[in-house]
Structure 1
Amino acid sequence: MPFKKLHAHIQERMIFQSIEEPTSFQSKSIPVIKSGANVYCIAPKGSGKTTTLILTILQKLKCEAIGNAPRAVVLVENKEKALALYRTFLDYTKQTSLRVYVGYEQLHIDVQKSEIFEGIDILITTPKSMNKLFLLNGVSTSQLKLLSIDDAEFLIQKSEYDAIMSITQSILKCQYVLYTEKMHPRLKRFEEYFMERARLIEIKK
């Protein structure tokens, strides 16, 4: 079972959340993501995509803080989704040393830069905000291990698409995991750029 092969803290949090058995999507996706491959995760709402995103990041970071630069980045569509995901992450990172930070376009970029500089492990933000941080040298990706994109359909919009392309061109090496309800030709096109040799995990309705 995927949960039983995860870090002990994650297993404890799953019990606390009263989640005993993985969904079909989680059973298929977690081992592939753990392998380090780039992955397209396609599944309907309610399949456990967001929980999978959180669990695999915690597993990758071994549930402990290291250094100052983010080792995992999660990109979401907007401020509301960023804050909601941040609150969910906090439920899973309790009793760990992991530092989770949330940023978004409405938060002044200088505030984000100074707070990130103090040291974080997981950065939750939007593509536009992340791109702006890059342009102002406000975030380092030297330690980045995993970049996940939640509900990635929003990336088909030109401004968001351009932002993710700019971001990934600035990252030397990391694992990419993209979660979406359905594949779109624009998302598939990422294989030509940063989703090299991506695995495809798909669960039908």
Structure 2
Amino acid sequence: MPFKKLIQPLKDTLENKGFDTPLAFQKSILSKIKSGANLFCIAPKGSGKTTSIVLSVIQNLNGKAFEDAPRVLIFVKDKQAALNLELEFNAFKRGTDLRVYCAYDEQNIDVQRDEIYEGVDVVIATPKRLNKIFFLNGINLNKLQMCIVEDAEFLFRNNNLAEITRAPESIGKCQYLVFSTTFDKRFERWRDAFMFNAKIIKSK
């Protein structure tokens, strides 16, 4: 998907940043993400994975806030990863009214629950904190359109894989995207459980 097919606020931001065309890996995945396919996006650092997440989410939501329940959930490894991704969203969502919210362990969970209840479009969360908020009835996952894992290597530490695998049990039909530098054999169980017909797109 060339940048010219993106919504105007994204095109303006990309132009201001001096980005004329997608990177090679972005060319191979952006149109597939737009089509709604479940994907494992495998590529080394510097290939544009994080920017692809941000562009795809903002494009898919048409840059517009809608109702209260989040439509996109992005799992990250820790607080710093959440804040870094939030900064990326803030840089690219200028000209839109999308609401992006970070949920991580160091925050007061009651405050988080109240702030999410007030209405968000995109939630960036660590797995353990997301599940705690969910079991406190602090987040509605029924409206999710996209569930994404950034830098998925962290899943195989500290029981994160089990924490994230619980989430789809509470999600209806949804697009799943996993971004990683390598494809781990343990992902195969996701293809059987909820990432039906998922494709593996590797950097060439």
State the TM bucket, normalised to the shorter chain.
over 0.9
Partner residue in 2 for 1:194: 194
| Residues 124-139 of structure 1 aligned to structure 2 (within 5 Å) | 124-139=124-139
User: 1:99 corresponds to which letter in structure 2?
Assistant: R
C-alpha RMSD of the superposition: 1.1
Residue 108 of structure 1: aligned partner: 108
* Per-residue deviation, 1:21: 1.4
Superposition map of 1:1-205 within 5 A: 1-157=1-157, 159-204=159-204
- 1:161-204 CA-to-partner distances (Å, cap 9, x unmatched) read 11011111111121011000000111232101121110121004
Q: Is the 8 A contact 1:155 1:187 kept in 2?
A: no
Note the alpha carbon deviations across 1:84-134, whole angstroms, 9 max, x for none.
Answer: 111111011122111111110111211110000111111111111111111
TM-score in terms of structure 1 length: 0.96
1:158 Cα deviation after fit: 5.3
Calculate percent identity across the aligned residue pairs. Answer: 41
CA deviation profile, 1:132-151 (whole Å, cap 9, x unmatched): 11111110012110111100
- Runs ≥4 residues deviating over 3 A: none
Unaligned 5+ runs, structure 2: none
Greater shift in the superposed pair: 91-100 or 26-35: 91-100
Residue 74 of structure 2: SS of its match in structure 1? strand
2: CA distance, partners of 1:161 / 1:177:
15
How many angstroms apart in 2 are the aligned matches of 1:188 and 1:23? 28
What is the TM-score with the length of structure 2 in the denominator? 0.97
Once residues 166 and 148 of structure 1 are traced to their aligned partners in structure 2, the CA distance between those partners, rounded to angstroms, is: 14
Whether contact under 8 Å (1:73, 1:122) holds in the other structure is yes
Gaps of 5+ in 1: none
Q: Distance in 2 between matches of 1:148 and 1:13?
A: 23
Q: What is the CA–CA distance in structure 2 between the aligned matches of 1:2 and 1:27, rounded to whole Å?
A: 7
Structure 2 CA distance for aligned equivalents of residues 141 and 98 of structure 1: 17
CA distance in 2 between partners of 1:25 and 1:188 (Å): 22
CA distance in 2: counterparts of 1:55 and 1:41, whole angstroms: 15
Equivalent pairs, count: 204
Aligned partner of residue 11 in structure 1, secondary structure: helix
8 Å Cα contact 1:76-1:126 kept in structure 2 = yes
